[in-house]
Chains A and B, each alone.
Chain A
Amino acid sequence: MLSEKELQVFIKGTKKYFQINSNKEIEIAAPYLAAAEDVPISELTGIIGISGERKGCVFITSTKTMLRHLVLSLGENEVTPELLRDVIGEMANTISGNARADFGPEFMISVPVVVEGSPDLIALPKNLKGYVIPIRWNSFPFLLVASLA
């Protein structure tokens, strides 16, 4: 289970991602613990598997509307379904990868897997709850979920 201090690592990484890529601050609501079946999955989800000293996953789930605005803020002129999938995978990858600065090199991250809808395809590790961090960027809500043993 993540500690309060470890949870802050992901919050710090998410703040940095949006500051640099959109020059806008994010708003963070109180994180809460949830079982796999209780995490509200949105339209697109970018998932990073974690292995090594820690095991579990980190994922971001968001509406396509939020991702469309993010793609545009990254300098693209047009938004395609491929770019929507790409941006949520890369966001999950960047935030998870940045966490190695605190967790160390044994915090191994997978390449991103992007899932459209289908909450049944996203399973948190057995007997392990995930911390759900509700975030708002540019008025759009999305969730970052970190589930680590």
Chain B
Amino acid sequence: MKMLIVDDSMIIRRKIERELELNEITEIYTANDGMEALCIFQMHMPELVTMDLTMPAMNGEECVKEIMKINRETTILVISALADKATAIKAVKNGACGFLCKPFTEKELNAALAKLISYRNNNKVSPC
């Protein structure tokens, strides 16, 4: 399974990549804003995306909408510091499948991604 990590913080991109413990993920790509994410998405068509929300160039909300236009079966986990419920609900309405709040532990990251991958594999469709 291919995965795209989108976050404007290099520290966060590298933390996610380093702490992943899921055998299902075989290829990882990274992008530091929504515009770059869209280019990489169209090039590699990853099945799984982690998406920050507050980013320059194109924010995560817009990027989720654009990815959904390209492939509605994409599984997107929003990983953001925006901790209010309304933001999480809006992200899901736009097409994200889950929400993980920063700061997060290694265990929380892997649990959130494993849950989405498991659902996707068992149902052969995106969980959202």
* Interface residues in chain A, defined as those with a beta carbon under 8 Å from any beta carbon in chain B: 16-17, 20-21, 71, 74-76, 82-83, 86-87, 89-90, 93-101, 103-105, 107, 109-111
Which residues does chain A contribute within 8 Å of B55, judged by CB atoms? 111
Least CB separation from B52: chain A residue: A93
* Bound form: Cα–Cα A107–B82 in Å: 10
Which residues does chain A contribute within 8 Å of B83, judged by CB atoms? 97-101
Least CB separation from A105: chain B residue: B86
Select one of A74, A89, A96, A101 contacting B84, CB under 8 A.
A101
Least CB separation from A70: chain B residue: B11
**Are the C-beta atoms of A86 and B87 separated by less than 8 Å?**
no
Residue B14 CB within 8 A of the other chain: yes
* Bound form: Cα–Cα A98–B103 in Å: 9
**Are the C-beta atoms of A97 and B80 separated by less than 8 Å?**
yes
**Are the C-beta atoms of B103 and A94 separated by less than 8 Å?**
yes
* Bound form: Cα–Cα A19–B119 in Å: 31
Which residues does chain A contribute within 8 Å of B68, judged by CB atoms? none
Known: A100-B82, A100-B84. 13 other contacts (CB 8 A): A16-B103, A21-B103, A75-B14, A75-B19, A82-B10, A96-B81, A97-B82, A97-B83, A98-B81, A98-B102, A100-B87, A103-B84, A111-B56
A97 to chain B, nearest CB (A): 3
**Are the C-beta atoms of A83 and B11 separated by less than 8 Å?**
yes
Which secondary structure dominates where chain A touches chain B?
A: helix
Which residues does chain A contribute within 8 Å of B104, judged by CB atoms? 20
* Bound form: Cα–Cα A56–B56 in Å: 20
* Bound form: Cα–Cα A96–B15 in Å: 20
Known: A104-B86, A105-B84, A105-B87. Is A90-B101 also a contact (CB below 8 A)? no
Known: A20-B104, A97-B80, A100-B84. Is A90-B11 also a contact (CB below 8 A)? yes
**Are the C-beta atoms of A97 and B86 separated by less than 8 Å?**
no
5 A-B pairs in the complex with CB atoms less than 8 angstroms apart: A75-B18, A93-B54, A94-B103, A97-B82, A107-B84
Known: A101-B83, A105-B87. Is A90-B12 also a contact (CB below 8 A)? yes
Least CB separation from B105: chain A residue: A20
Residue B8 CB within 8 A of the other chain: yes
Which residues does chain A contribute within 8 Å of B10, judged by CB atoms? 82-83, 86
Known: A101-B84, A111-B56. Is A71-B11 also a contact (CB below 8 A)? yes
7 nearest A-B residue pairs (beta carbon)? A97-B81, A101-B83, A100-B84, A105-B86, A90-B9, A20-B103, A94-B81
